[in-house]
Structure 1
């Protein structure tokens, strides 16, 4: 047999809903924060990829605009560095002809 004096507070405690929202928020908030931070990281990565693709396209346009014989590697290197937003020393320009 259970003591009625002990079971009554336990029953009241099991039916009490005060603080339930705080506990649910404590469970859901970290998951929501991870989701938002993940989306921010993906957006930054996609932005950097697009900037790199634009720099490459801009450099290729400059290289092919004057024809193969008039392509200046130093000018192309500087243009690619400007488009990518990095110093020219971080850009490598190689010349080759492919058929």
Structure 2
């Protein structure tokens, strides 16, 4: 199951000083408002991930994962590669 995460950065830190919120939290709106009042800015689009750690990894990859997902959806080779990676992770017990 994927959750939606929104990332917030301290301005002028080149995405190095950041925090995130799980958008399914019942206090998301209040927490977001508090971060914005502290001067943080929303960074990029929402990230869908199975865990907070996965979301942080995707955020730090600076959207490389979007290119991988696009390639997987438009190219048979990448679709198969993505399927094999998913299966490998399932068999290894990572998910």
Superposition TM-score tier, normalisation by shorter sequence = under 0.3
Higher relative contact order (CA 8 A, sep 6+): 2
User: What TM-score, normalized to structure 2?
Assistant: 0.22
Q: Which has the higher helix share?
A: 1
TM-score by length of 1: 0.21
